[in-house]
């Protein structure tokens, strides 16, 4: 398979200045895409990433500030990327996904709105905004980032939102085919983010590894490479699928 299969294509990755989003942006660029790196508050990280991508690939990339919990900013984000690249967006990765495990009985409405809007509403709206251009061009790839939390029932609004991402993926796949494929990845706990989850639950990582058939956590690179693989031309027959990248964490025995 061609390593530069995204040559001439454009990609937009939300929440891409750091962590998993940054690795996804980097891998898309390494396979030929020009990448729009969305960020909200991490301007320096986004700038540094774009400079790295330009130096590494010799192609134009850019960073775009937008708070994806706000509809008008998502519209501005997509419009800015389209105008900067001079055409439609070919690849959209809906990566934004703030976490919460505040119990529903205690969950403030504002926290519900923040997690739901950044995860689900942003994915719906960004997908809607790029869909027309993709269909007119006759080709497009949308990849939504869910999470293994969709199988858990103590991750509150986050688990609900990540389950909703799977349903949204399937519905969009039905609506946007055959020109556009819509798939999702559902990462388990990511190795490089272990310290982040420890702030919520210090025992989670140890218990997660013990419950994972692979006996380890997955890495950002592993997840990003699955995202990129879903964007290959050869994957046109794969749509409406959620790929678990979790080392088997979702599997339960009794």
Q: Which residues contact 211 (CB under 8 A, 6 or more apart)?
A: 249
Q: Which position has the token pair 């290959």?
A: 232
Q: Residue 200 is encoded by which pair of tokens?
A: 């919520």
How far apart CA 81 and CA 83 sit, in angstroms, is 6
Residues with catalytic function:
158
* SS3 at position 60: coil
Consecutive H or E run containing 34: strand 34-39
> What strand order describes the sheet that includes 62-65?
62-65, 34-39, 10-13, 91-94, 140-145, 180-187, 242-245
> b or e along 47-66 (b: 16 or more beta carbons within 10 Å of the residue's beta carbon)?
eebbeebeeebeeebbbbbb
Which whole-number Å values give the CA distances from 212 to 21, 94, 163, 189, 198, in the listed order?
24, 26, 20, 10, 17
Q: Which residues contact 220 (CB under 8 A, 6 or more apart)?
A: 19, 20, 23, 190, 191, 192, 193
């Amino acid at each position: 398979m061609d390593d530069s299969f995204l040559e001439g294509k454009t990609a937009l990755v939300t929440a891409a200045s750091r962590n998993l989003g940054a690795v996804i942006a980097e891998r898309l660029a390494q396979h030929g895409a020009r990448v729009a790196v969305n960020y909200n508050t991490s301007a320096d990280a986004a700038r540094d990433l774009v400079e790295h991508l330009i130096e590494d690939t010799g192609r134009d990339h850019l960073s775009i500030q937008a708070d994806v919990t706000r509809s008008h900013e998502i519209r501005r984000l997509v419009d800015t990327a389209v105008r900067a690249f001079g055409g439609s967006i070919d690849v959209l990765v809906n990566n934004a996904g703030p976490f919460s495990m505040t119990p529903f009985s205690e969950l403030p409405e504002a926290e519900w709105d923040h997690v739901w809007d950044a995860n689900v509403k942003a994915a719906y709206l960004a997908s809607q905004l790029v869909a027309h251009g993709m269909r007119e061009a006759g080709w497009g790839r949308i990849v939504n980032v869910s999470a293994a939390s969709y199988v858990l029932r103590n991750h509150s609004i986050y688990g609900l939102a990540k389950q909703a991402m799977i349903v949204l993926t399937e519905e969009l796949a039905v609506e946007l085919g055959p020109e556009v494929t819509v798939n999702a990845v559902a990462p388990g706990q990511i190795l490089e983010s272990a310290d982040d989850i420890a702030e919520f639950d210090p025992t989670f990582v140890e218990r997660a590894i013990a419950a994972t058939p692979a006996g380890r956590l997955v890495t950002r690179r592993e997840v990003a490479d699955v995202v990129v693989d879903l964007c290959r031309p050869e994957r046109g027959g794969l749509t409406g699928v959620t790929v678990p990248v979790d080392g088997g964490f979702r599997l339960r025995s009794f």
